[in-house]
Every structure is written in structure tokens, then in C-alpha cells.
Amino acid sequence: MVKKFLCLLAFLWTIPAQASIVQRGKAVGSAGSPATTASVVLPSNIQANDLIYLGCFTDNSQNPNTPTGFTLITGGNQSNSTERFYHFTKTAVGADAGATVNCTTSAGADIVIRVRVFYSTDGAAPQVGATNFSTATGVSSVTFASTNAPTKSGSAILLVARENQNITVGFDAGVIDPVFGGFLIGGTATGFFGVSGTTFPSPMASISNGASGNWMAAAIELQTSNGSSAGAVLVSGGAFISGAGNCSALTPSSETQNGDVEFTIMDIGSATPAITPPAGWTLGPQITNANANPNAASLTIYTHTKAGGDAASWNFTNATTNGNICVIVSVGNLNTTTPIDVSQTLSVNQANKNMPIPALNPTASDELLLRVGALPGAGTFTSAPAGVTRITGLNQGQADLEVVYDDPTLNASLYLGNNVPVADGALGMSLGLQSSATPTRTTANQRVEQLGLITLAPFGAPEPPPSCGNCGLGVGAP
């Protein structure tokens, strides 16, 4: 009888889904001179159960009205002098894709709307966890408040800020997909980072500007549903090192915590790199392009699990003196023994305006896909395809290195846009990142919205490797 009872308990016991919080998209809208209504068009790829964040800034002592269908986050009605910044959320329905949302006031004001959309890879609706709201006066920078720690591992920490000046410096290096600057909207900013535990990094993320002013800031935890456990989380991107020869004093961001896997990404202008890594770093995928002289290049990945006692920065020596771009990207809740489960690389020996990133067949253990593209020349990155989030990137005049991520339901090849045609020698890489436990991915969250963006690769564009899952298809193709 006891055995039968235990078997029944085991059968009825619900195993929590393993899920990740991933960004779906973002949007911005504004009105001024002054106005009582500002509108924003939501991303067209929104799906049911996405979490929509909407921040509405107003001045002239005007309180924003709650947009239809949205709910004010508890404590999210910020004010500083005559300015207001209210923070709202909504669990999306299918009709929200491409819909117009208004932020209104009773009397005239300058109005700015900032939107970010996140989803959980198990198809359940994300929820708001811990929140930290703060204000500051007469300062040129603020550190986001961290009194209320994250309540769940694997959360995304959404950062939102307003200064009554045009923000020209921005977030610290670790913040993912930062947006700030511009006329009217220039005094507002959004970005995010991830946490693989239930503590904030020390020091906490910050934002700065060249001029002193009055600030409102918010750090909002977006977490998996109560029925889900934390999966892999994109934590941060670090500061870039560029120049010639070695990648010296390469530093992970302050958001990186012990147990996170650090990925050193090295774009070196040589097809025969001679790299000596620091102790404790493991060579990952590498690809070279020897047929594109004078644009021969290589793309190399090293991995390391952060631990107590690690050096504050790392020195990777390279025997060649060619130009390089190097950066450390950190990911939490990964399998630290085999963080890269599967990979694909691609080399293109022709002039190209875009960075081709190869397709990848992810395994059942993969929870995030890390994509890297390198392109010679001075063209600047434009934007990632819908549903793909830019982690970090740098164009240092001779080359452009871009790092983006998405979830495994989009396994087609990608094209990362570049403003101008550049010389031949593009390199691309896709990495399947293995979660610390088998993730749960439901058909309710498949990337059906991408079907309208997947097009046949244009004539002359590189084809994905023959082992890809969507051969001949390219997302974001020009």
C-alpha cells in the first residue's frame, strides 16, 4: 500500500517547466508642443501571453492616464518636480500585435512612451517580481536602486530612466539592448540585464549623462510564471577591447556573477591567429577566412565559468599584430561542463552588405542561441530581425563585430543589416547554449510571427550550411 501511495504521489507531482525570459521587441512614441495624447505602435510580432511593459513620461505636472487594458505597476507612479513617469504592464493577446496604444493626459504636456515586450519560452505569461523605484536631483548619473532583491533566478531586470536633459552617455557596458538619446525622447532610456540568482550585482547597473539634472529610475524584475523554474538567462555584454595584437585587460561586466559562463568573442584580422588564452579558459568554435586577402580574418570563442578569486580582467595574447575586436558576453544557468551544445560557422568570400549568420539545428537541451557576425569595413550595424535581440556590438573603423541572441524556435539563417557595402570576408557563427536542465518549449510559443519575415535568400547571398534546419531560408534578408 505504501509503495502504491508513493507511486501515486510521484505521478501527481508536477515537474515545473524550465523556461527562459527573452525579449520579443521594443517600440517608442512621442508627442509634444504640447499635446494631450501620444501614440505608439506595438511590435507586430507580439503573441498571446507576452508581457508588454509600457512606460509613459509626461511633464507640466500632468499625470498619465492608464492606457486601455494596462495596469499600473504597484509603486510605479513616479514624480520628480513637474515631471511624471508611470510604469504599466499588460499580458498580451493576439490582437495586440501591431496595435496602437495611447498615453493621454488631462492638459497639454510633452509625452514619451517606451515599450518593451518579453516572453517566456514555456508559453506561460511572465510576471513582475521585485521592483525598485528611485529619484535623484542635481546629479549627472544614477545607480539603479537595489533594495528589493530579485525573487527568482533567471529573471530579466528591465531598466528605465528619465533625466530632464538629453542623455548622451547612457548605461554601463553590461546593459543589453540599450536605447537612449534623440530629440524630445532623448531624456528617456531603457535596457535590461539578466540575473542567474536572487541577488543583484555589485555594483548595480548605472546610467550617466554629461550634464547634471533630475532623474527618475526604475529596475523592474520580469520573471517566469509561478509554475516554471528558471532557465538559461542572457546576463550581460562587457566592454570592448580593440586595436592590434593582444586582447589585454578584457573585462566582464559587473552584472556577471559566480557560476555564469563567460564567452570571450575575438574577431582578429588574421586567418592564422596564434592566441594564448589565460588559464581556465577553454577553446570553443573557431572559423577562419583565408581566401579574402587583404581581408583575411578569424572568429574565435573561448569559454570560462566565473568563480570566486577570478581576476578582474583577462589577457589574451595573440602573436599576430593584426587588428582585433574582443568582448566578453555572460550567460547564466548553463551547463558549465558543456555550455556550447552544438555550433555552426559560415565564411563568405564575396563583397556583402550584410552579416550572414548560419542556421542551426538546436538540441532538446538548448535554451538560447548566441549569434556572432564579423564584417570587414566601416559600415555600421542597422538592426536585428524581429525577435532577435542585440547584446552588443562595435565598429572600430576596420571591422564590425555584432553579437545577438534568440531562442531555439528560430533556427533559420539570419542577416544582420549593415548600412554600406563592404569588402569580402564576412564570418558568421551560431551557438546552441545548453541549459543546466532540459528546457520546456511549447508549440504555443513557436516563432510563427517570423514566417512573414523569412524570405528566400537573395541572389548572390550566402546559403546556409547543408545541415541547417531551414535550408535556403534567411531571416532579415535584404
CA pair distance 149, 71, nearest whole angstrom = 22
pLDDT digits (tens, 9 = 90+) for 335-346: 999 999 999 998
Terminal CA-CA length for the chain? 66
Q: Which of 190, 230, 205 is nearest to 144 (CA)?
A: 205
Asked whether residue 2 is domain-assigned, the answer is no
pLDDT-based confidence at 2, cuts 50/70/90? Answer: very low
Say if residue 314 is in the same domain as residue 426: yes
Q: How many residues appear in the chain?
A: 478
Pick the range with the lowest mean pLDDT from 36-40, 412-416, 425-429: 412-416
Nearest CA to 123 among 43, 221, 231? 231
- Please write the tens of the pLDDT for every residue from 118-155: 999 989 999 999 999 999 999 999 999 999 999 999 99
Confidence of residue 373 (pLDDT cuts 50, 70, 90): confident
**Domain assignment of residue 7, yes or no:** no
pLDDT at 450: 34
Q: Looking at per-residue confidence, does 444 or 170 come out higher?
A: 170
Chosen domain end from 169, 200, 230? 230
Residue 5 included in any domain: no
Mean pLDDT within 321-329: 83
Output the pTM of the full model.
Answer: 0.88
Helix (H, G, I), strand (E, B) or coil at 107: strand
Out of 17-21, 196-200, 216-220, least confident range: 17-21
Residues 205 and 165 both lie in one domain: yes
Rounded mean pLDDT of 382-408? 82
Cβ contacts of residue 459 below 8 Å, gap of 6+? none
pLDDT class for 415, splitting at 50, 70, 90? Answer: confident
pLDDT band with cut points at 50, 70 and 90 for residue 264: very high
Q: For residue 414, is pLDDT > 70? A: yes
Confidence band of 274 (pLDDT split at 50, 70, 90): confident
Check whether residue 266 and residue 183 sit in a common domain: no
Alpha carbons 394 and 85: distance in angstroms, whole number: 32
Condensed to tens digits (0 to 9), the pLDDT of residues 232-255 reads: 999 999 888 887 667 888 999 999
Determine the Cα–Cα distance for residues 469 and 410; give it in Å rounded to an integer: 10
**Same domain membership, residue 176 and residue 207:** yes
Please tell me the distance from the alpha carbon of residue 134 to that of residue 150, in angstroms, as a whole number. 16
For residues 464 and 157, which has the higher predicted lDDT (pLDDT)? Answer: 157
Whether residue 186 sits in one domain with residue 259: no
The order of strands in the sheet holding 21-41 is 21-41, 100-120, 51-58, 83-91, 71-80
What whole-number distance in Å separates Cα of residue 26 and Cα of residue 160? Answer: 13
Q: Is residue 194 part of a domain?
A: yes
**pLDDT score recorded for residue 350:** 63
Same domain, 254 and 225: no
The per-residue pLDDT for 251 is 92
Residues 367 and 455 reside in one and the same domain: yes
**Residue 30, domain member (yes or no):** yes
Rounded mean pLDDT, 426-431: 89
Burial 337-369 (b: 16+ CB within 10 A, else e): eebbbbbbbbbbeebbbbbbbbbbbbeebbbbb
- The residue out of 195, 212, 230 marking a domain boundary is 230
133 and 278 inside one domain: no
Confidence of residue 378 (pLDDT cuts 50, 70, 90): low
How deeply is 326 buried, as exposed, middle or buried, from its count of CB atoms within 10 A (0-12, 13-18, 19+)?
buried
In this model, does residue 447 exceed pLDDT 60? no
Mean pLDDT of 395-422: 74
The rounded percent of the chain whose pLDDT value lies above 70 is 79
> Of 230, 264, 289, which residue sits at a domain end?
230
Counts of helices then strands in the chain (DSSP H, E): 1, 31
**Is residue 125 a part of any domain in this protein?**
yes
Burial of 5 (0-12, 13-18, 19+ CB in 10 A): exposed
Establish if 11 belongs to a structural domain.
no
Indicate whether 1 belongs to any domain.
no
Q: Which residue has the higher pLDDT, 278 or 292?
A: 278
Q: How far is CA 46 from the centre of its chain?
A: 17
Same domain, 388 and 419: yes
Non-local (6+) Cβ contacts of 38 within 8 A are 29, 30, 31, 56, 102, 103, 104, 111, 112, 113
Measured from the Cβ of residue 456, the count of other Cβ atoms closer than 10 Å reads 10
Over the stretch 78-123, which tens digit does the pLDDT of each residue have?
Answer: 999 999 999 999 999 999 999 999 999 999 999 999 999 999 998 9
For the stretch 25-62, pLDDT in tens is: 999 999 987 899 999 999 999 999 999 999 999 999 99
* Domain total in the chain: 2
Residue 458 has pLDDT above 70, yes or no: no
Higher per-residue pLDDT: 124 or 357: 124
**The pLDDT of residue 321:** 66
What is the distance between the alpha carbons of residues 47 and 260, in angstroms, rounded to a whole number?
30
| Residues 197, 246 share a domain | no
Residue 263: strand, helix, or coil: strand
Residue 462 is part of which domain span? 233-475
Residue 48 main-chain phi, psi, to 5 deg: -55, 140
Q: 201 and 291: one domain?
A: no
Strands 426-434 and 366-376: antiparallel
Q: Are 94 and 117 in contact (CB under 8 A)?
A: no
Question: Do 354 and 245 belong to one domain?
Answer: yes
Nearest residue to 287 (alpha-carbon basis) of 299, 272, 276, 277: 299
How, if at all, do strands 261-268 and 297-305 pair? antiparallel
